[in-house]
Structures are given as C-alpha cells and as structure tokens.
C-alpha cells in the first residue's frame, strides 16, 4: 500500500515537472518568434521614419539656434544705442512673433473635440466608418481660419502659416509637419478668436457633413481662456525674397 | 518506469493544455524547474543507492522549487540577482548527483 502511494506521488511529481518544462519551452519559443524584428513590420518602419525626421529636425533646430544667437547679439548692440526706434522695433517684433505662432498665447475661443464613436470597430477589428483624414482636418482648420481664428492648435500642435497636413502610413497617422495625430483617438482642436463666430462657423448646418466625420462625435465648447502653446516649427525663408523696387 | 510515465503525461499535458500563467512568472518557473531537476537527480541517485524515500523526495521537490522561485522574486524586488545563487547551487548539485549516478551505474554494470 505504502509503495503504491509513493509511486503514485512520484508519478504526479514527475508529471508536474514535465508540464513545467514543456510549458516553459513553449513560452520561450513564442517569445522568440514575437521578438524578432521584422523589417517589414509597420512599427519598425514607423520608428525609422520618425528617427529620420527627428534627426532632420535636430539639425534644423541647431542651425536656427545659432542663427538666433547671432540675431540676439545684433539686437543687444542696437539696444545699447539709445533711441525710441529700437523700442518700436521690439514691439513690432513681438507682434510678428505672436502672429507667427512663436509665443504661447491665451484668449477667448473654442475647443473642438473629435471623439471616435463607441462601437467603431466591428467584430473583426475593422473600422466601420471611414476614418478622419487630412482632408477633414484641413477642412475644419480652414473653416476656423475663415471665421477669423487668430491662433489654432491641433492636439496642442500649433498651426502656423507654414504648417502642412497630410496623411501617412496608409491612413494610420495624420502628419502635422513632424508631429502626428492618430485618427482613432481623440483629436482636440483649439482656436482663439470670437467664440460665437467660431462656433457658428463649425456648427452651421452641413458644415461637418463629411464622409470622414460620420464615425465621430464632434463637440464645441466655448471658453474665455484658451491656451495655445507656441510652435516648435523652424520657419523657412530660403527662397522668398522681398521684391526690390 | 512510473516516473517516465508521469513525465510523459506531464509533457503531453503541457503541449495540449493551453493554460495561461502570466508571463512575468516565467523567470521564476525557470529557476523552479532547475530546483525540481536537482530533486529528480537526487532521487535517481538515492534510488540507485537503495535509500530512496518518497516523502524526502517530494518535500525536496516542492521545497526547493518554492525556495528558488521565492529567492528569485526577492532578488527581483531588491535589485540583486539572487537567482544566480539558486542557479549555481542547483546546477552544481545536478552535476554532483550525475557524477555519483554515473559511478553507481558503472559499478553496477561491472559487478554483473
């Protein structure tokens, strides 16, 4: 009796060991197969593209930094020479910066949220509606601009007069210059301007009647204090030159 | 004989039964497996020298596994790789046991 019992427990213990061994083997094999970097993988590609973009941006920023330092030196020299003209120039410069989007700004305006609707995906994980694209985004921004928005941001990315918007990665991302907006997550657009005018421009019947917006809830909230951060864009003036008279 | 049968059942269960142990336990299981292997080698040795006791084997099997996994967990929390201690001790003992098993087997073969 005792022998049978001990043999039985032995068998059970060995079974346990065998189970643990195979389980662990399978787990490690699974991990190995998922850990291999596939050059065709979309995240891999995405990261490479992002890296390249960041490198480019860094270079540009370094260049613009040195240029700005030189400018500051020039300004300092001009301030050293007394006179009202320098003060006037400074004011002009500040205003220009404000309009260009190089300063954080605050003021009355609206916040527009574009939220994907519940049940957006069917059982197979496929998007039921056509997702928002650069068309819809640029269209909304244009409407806001037409309603005299003085500063606009999308997910706190400042829209400047040199900002471009386009689709990337087959619709998985919308690029706003080097920043990204994802069509399947919340998009917040902030605009500073006359809140009533901005709201009526967006909420005017049929304004938002676009195919890419069917799958989204759009909400407009007016506010007395909208904060919009400055742009991190490097403005380019390689080709434009004033016309000489 | 019965041990091999048990092992086979375990392997088959491992392949067929798609149980979900969280992946974060994976390193602890690895150390526990080493401890179990050590116990098994100890058992084989004891069996060959005819002083095998099932209760000692089973308590050693579970005790060692639990201690090894516990040490690995503690090491994780403290930031010291204590599991290396378990790996070295059990690894060394496995080789030790194997050496003794080998000798016993060869002696048995010779005396026949």
Q: CA-to-CA distance for A63 and A66, rounded, in angstroms?
A: 5
| Alpha-carbon A171 to chain mean position | 14
Q: What is the mean pLDDT of chain A?
A: 83
Q: Provide the CB-side half-sphere exposure for A143 (13 A, CA).
A: 19
CB contact under 8 A, A23 and B19: yes
**Shortest CA distance from B15: residue in chain A:** A22
Angle between helical axes of A134-146 and A195-203 (0-180°, round to 10): 140
CB-based contacts of B61: which residues, under 8 Å, 6+ apart?
Answer: A13, A17, B35, B36, B39, B40
Measure the CA–CA gap between A91 and B64, rounded to whole angstroms: 77
Residues A28-72: tens digit of each pLDDT: 777 666 655 555 666 777 888 888 889 998 889 989 988 998 888
Give the pLDDT of residue A82: 64
A9 touches chain B (CB under 8 A): yes
A190, A109 contact by CB (below 8 A): yes
Whole-angstrom Cα Rg for chain B: 16
What pTM value is reported for the model?
Answer: 0.48
* pLDDT > 90: percent of chain B: 4
The string of pLDDT tens digits covering residues A167-197 is 887 778 898 888 888 888 889 999 999 999 9
Q: Which residues of B touch A7 (CB under 8 A)?
A: 2, 54
The answer to whether A30 contacts chain B (CB < 8 Å) is no
- A92 has a pLDDT exceeding 70: yes
| Nearest-angstrom CA–CA distance, A158 and A190 | 9
Flag if B29 and A17 touch (Cβ within 8 Å): no
Average pLDDT over residues A91-117: 87
Q: Which of B2, B14, B23 sits opposite A21 (nearest CB)?
A: B14
| Distance to chain B for A37, nearest Cα, Å | 20
CA dist., res. A46 & res. A168, Å (int): 10
- Report, in this order, helix, strand and coil percent for chain B, each rounded to 5: 85, 0, 15
Q: List CB contacts (< 8 A) between B90 and chain A.
A: none
Q: Which residues of A touch B16 (CB under 8 A)?
A: none
Residue A222 pLDDT level (bands cut at 50, 70, 90): very high
Q: pLDDT digits over B22-74, tens only?
A: 767 777 888 888 888 888 888 888 888 888 787 888 888 888 888 888 888 88
Winning range, highest mean pLDDT, from A68-82, A88-102, A191-205: A191-205
The C-alpha atoms of residue A72 and residue A95 are separated, in whole angstroms, by 17
Bridge-based pairing of strands A216-228 and A165-168 is unpaired
Indicate the SS3 state at residue A102.
coil
pLDDT band at A2 (very low <50, low <70, confident <90, very high): low
Whole-number Å distance between alpha carbons of B17 and B31: 22
First-to-last alpha carbon distance for chain A, in angstroms, is 114
- Rounded CA separation A237/A241 (Å): 8
């Amino acid at each position: 009796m005792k022998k049978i019992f001990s043999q039985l427990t032995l068998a059970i213990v060995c079974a346990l060991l065998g189970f643990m061994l195979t389980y662990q083997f399978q787990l490690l094999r699974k991990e190995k197969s998922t850990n291999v970097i596939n050059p065709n993988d979309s995240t891999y590609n995405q990261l490479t593209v992002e890296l390249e973009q960041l490198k480019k941006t860094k270079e540009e920023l370094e260049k613009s930094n040195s240029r700005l330092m030189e400018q500051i030196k020039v300004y300092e020299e001009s301030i050293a020479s007394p006179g009202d003209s320098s003060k006037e120039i400074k004011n002009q410069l500040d205003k220009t910066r404000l309009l260009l989007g190089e300063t954080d700004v605050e003021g009355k305006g609206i916040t527009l949220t574009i939220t994907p609707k519940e049940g957006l995906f069917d059982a197979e994980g496929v998007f039921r509606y056509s997702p928002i694209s650069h068309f819809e985004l640029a269209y909304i921004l244009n409407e806001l601009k037409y309603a005299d928005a003085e500063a606009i941001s999308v997910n706190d990315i400042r829209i400047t007069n040199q900002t471009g918007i386009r689709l990337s990665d087959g619709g998985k991302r919308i690029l706003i210059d080097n920043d990204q907006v994802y069509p399947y997550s919340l998009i917040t657009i902030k605009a500073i301007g006359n809140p009533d005018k901005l709201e009526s421009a967006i909420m005017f019947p049929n304004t938002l009647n676009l195919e890419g917006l069917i799958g989204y809830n759009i909400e407009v909230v007016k506010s007395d204090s909208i904060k919009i951060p400055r742009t991190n864009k490097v403005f380019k003036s390689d080709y434009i030159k004033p016309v000489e008279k | 004989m019965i041990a091999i049968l048990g092992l086979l059942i375990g392997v088959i269960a491992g392949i067929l039964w798609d149980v979900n142990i969280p992946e974060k336990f994976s390193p602890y299981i690895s150390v526990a497996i080493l401890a179990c292997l050590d116990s098994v080698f100890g058992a084989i040795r004891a069996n060959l020298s005819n002083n095998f006791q099932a209760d000692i084997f089973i308590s050693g099997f579970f005790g060692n596994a639990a201690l090894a996994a516990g040490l690995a967990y503690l090491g994780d929390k403290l930031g010291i790789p204590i599991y290396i201690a378990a790996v070295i001790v059990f690894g060394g003992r496995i080789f030790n046991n194997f050496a003794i098993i080998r000798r016993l087997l060869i002696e048995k073969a010779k005396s026949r």
